[in-house]
Amino acid sequence: MSIIKVEIRSSAYYDSVILMHLQRALATLPDIIDAGAIMGTEANKHLLVQSGLSAPDVDQASPDDLVIVVKAASEKVAADALKQVDELIEKRRQTTDTEYRPKSLETAVKMLPGAHWVLISVPGRYAADVTREALGYGRNVFLYSDNVSLEDEIDIKRKACELGLMVMGPDCGTAIINHVGLGFANAIRPGPIGLVAASGTGLQQVSSRIHQLGSGITHALGTGGRDLSKDVSGLSTLQGFDLLDRDDATGVIVLISKPPSTEVAERLLRRARRSGKPVVVDFIGHSPVSPQLENLFFSTSFDSAAKKAVELAGALPMTFARQDLDIQGFAPGQRYLRGLFSGGTLAYEALLILQDYLPAVYANIPIHKELRLPDSLISQEHTILDLGEDEFTVGRLHPMMDHDLRIRRLEAEAEDPEVAVILMDVVLGFGAHIDPAGELSPAIRTALQKARSHKRRLDVIVVLVGTDEDPQDMNAQAESLRAAGAYVETSNELAVRRAGEIAARLSTGAEEPCGEPVKLEYIQAPFSAINIGLESFSESLSNQGAAAIQVDWRPPASGNEALMSILERMKAK
């Protein structure tokens, strides 16, 4: 036989460390079978049920309420335990409260004026306001708190950007700045590798592996898992990358994230390619089409990212000469790429590769269905067409045999004043047309002449698939296409990359949306910080020899929602 007793404290705020210790202290009292001390959210209440700690009263608790549950052999034991709650909380407080703690961020900033950083780990719904306050004092923020809304994240990151400050997070679990670990961080020896990560444990695994492999790091900057979403648009990651790019001690940069939105990935990779440093990219789950692209080295697991970074660090200094593609001569407004493929999988590989270059490419065989071309007969913006798709081949020969459709489409695309590059495949071999160049070359020549007559430059890039033993005479085919003015490659990848590079250079998207760059001093100065929230983070900083001040923070109106809204209304007046 056992009995369960519950106590609910309305609108009571306790630090989650306190709650954990309270639960453990209760559970280890004599004759107590189990105990729980939780905030009354639905998830937490379900967990109580699962742990056999449910009682009818618990259902009434709201997310603001503290719920204390004890399971004991008898009514009396349970009641006695609940009576000790305040005492247990006070005891815990006394063991940790050893020095003076300011009650406000304002005071803390005066006490430690050299602290460029504020660590914030208060409950999510207060976190954005505390962050805004810290930004107001000109401080960068490491925002550990989760349960922060997307709107708040965008707002505080934009504000920070305007001020030349950085917000790592929300939900940023880890960072290492100037060899001091923030939040959760491993002890990594100094070395030439800098990391930016929208992933806490990803960053911990990679930095740990770098250490295990004998190398080390300059800084490891977290950004929060949502930073590379379309809505947040990589604001913090771009700032972090830019810091490491300007930091002379950083020789190799590692970028880690779950797959970013295509648009953000493209912007970030474009920024990374402007760097002279080698950059290891692990967008886990993102499929790089080739392992290297100039100074970018793509990895697909934490392990291989760490290994590649260490290997590159061993080969420093390295320089990467950007292959300088000439983009002179295009008219204003020319910027789009159009792909006219006869081969379905060549078209599909093109779409994959173009993800490294262009934010959105429409297609009749799209990778993501939101990029399906509404009408396959009309291209829009960047477009890749598979003209061998069923829709085009009813009662009609495949485009490898009959070029009529492709030639008509080529004419139409070439007349579009926004088109800069046309990409085509020419597939030789048995079964295919016996002289594709004989039909396509005149059409290409005419298209180029027409563009020139309108004072436009037009690039036609052809991937030629075949062998020297094919019936068509591959070399003669290539010569004919070149003579017509086309650029010819035998690898689809190289042809697509060239087309993508040109289109990307002609696009006008900005890489860095922020006005002010973040000062290097913020990461290069000896690290000191103000901590608001989980006090174990302060202790951890002190243990690492960093100056830290803990703010004795309480939620406004002690977390009482009704009172808070009254205060809000008073402030507004």
Residues 275-294 that bind its own copies (CB under 8 A): 284-291
Measured CA to CA in angstroms, residue 216 lies from 234, 244, 318, 352 at distances of: 26, 15, 18, 34
Decide: 181 and 540 in contact? Cβ < 8 Å.
yes
Residue 234 or 466: the one with the smaller Cβ distance to its own copies is 466
Q: How far is the CB of 470 from its own copies (least distance, A)?
A: 5
Q: How near is the Cβ of 36 to its own copies at its closest, in Å?
A: 9
Q: How many angstroms separate the Cα of 421 from the Cα of each of 342, 431, 449?
A: 17, 29, 14
Query: Interface with its own copies includes 510 (CB under 8 A)?
Result: no
Which contacts of 480-484 are long-range, i.e. CB under 8 A and separated by 24 or more positions? 480/437, 480/438, 480/441, 481/426, 481/437, 481/440, 481/441, 481/444, 483/441, 484/437, 484/440, 484/441, 484/442, 484/444, 484/445, 484/448
34/263 with CB nearer its own copies: 34
Residue among 491, 526, 566, 568 that touches its own copies (CB under 8 A): 491
- 450 lines the binding site for its own copies (CB under 8 A): no
* Chain residues 130-159 in contact with its own copies, contact rule CB under 8 A: 146-147
Q: How far is the CB of 411 from its own copies (least distance, A)?
A: 10
Q: Could you give the strand order of the β-sheet that contains 487-489, starting from the edge strand earlier in sequence? A: 362-363, 383-386, 336-341, 419-427, 459-465, 487-489
- What is the total count of residues that contact its own copies (CB under 8 A)? 111
Which residues, listed in sequence order, are joined to residue 32 by a DSSP beta bridge?
72
Tell me how long the chain is.
573
Out of 432, 486, 514, 530, the only residue in the binding site for its own copies (CB under 8 A) is 432
Binding segment for its own copies among 11-19, 245-253, 414-422, 549-557 (CB under 8 A)? Answer: 11-19
> Which of 49, 24, 50, 51 has the alpha carbon at shortest distance from 37?
24
Identify which of residues 116 and 209 has a Cβ nearer to its own copies in the complex. 209
Regarding 241 and contact with its own copies (CB under 8 A), the answer is no
Instruction: State the Cα–Cα distance between residues 182 and 176, nearest whole angstrom.
Output: 6
Shortest Å, Cβ 531 to its own copies: 11
The CB-of-540 to its own copies minimum distance in angstroms stands at 5
Binding status of residue 184 toward its own copies by CB under 8 A: yes
Out of 131, 140, 204, 441, the residue judged to bind its own copies by CB under 8 A: 204
By C-alpha distance, which of 551, 550, 555 is closest to 568?
555
11 binds its own copies (CB under 8 A): no
The yes or no reply on residue 20 touching its own copies (CB under 8 A) is yes
Q: Which residues contact 565 (CB under 8 A, 6 or more apart)?
A: none
The dihedrals phi and psi of 532, each to the nearest 5 degrees, come to -125, 115
Q: Which is nearer to its own copies, 102 or 388 (CB)?
A: 388
User: Which residue from 228, 189, 165 is spatially nearest to 523, judged by alpha carbons?
Assistant: 165
Closer to its own copies at the Cβ: 189 or 274? 189
Q: Does 302 bind its own copies (CB under 8 A)?
A: yes
Strand partners, 220: 176, 195
Among 174, 236, 441, 550, binds its own copies (CB under 8 A): 174
Interface characters, 523-542, with its own copies (x: CB under 8 A): -----------x-xx--x--
Contacts with its own copies, 35-54, as mask; x by CB under 8 A: ---xx-x-xx-xx--xx---
Q: Does 398 bind its own copies (CB under 8 A)?
A: yes
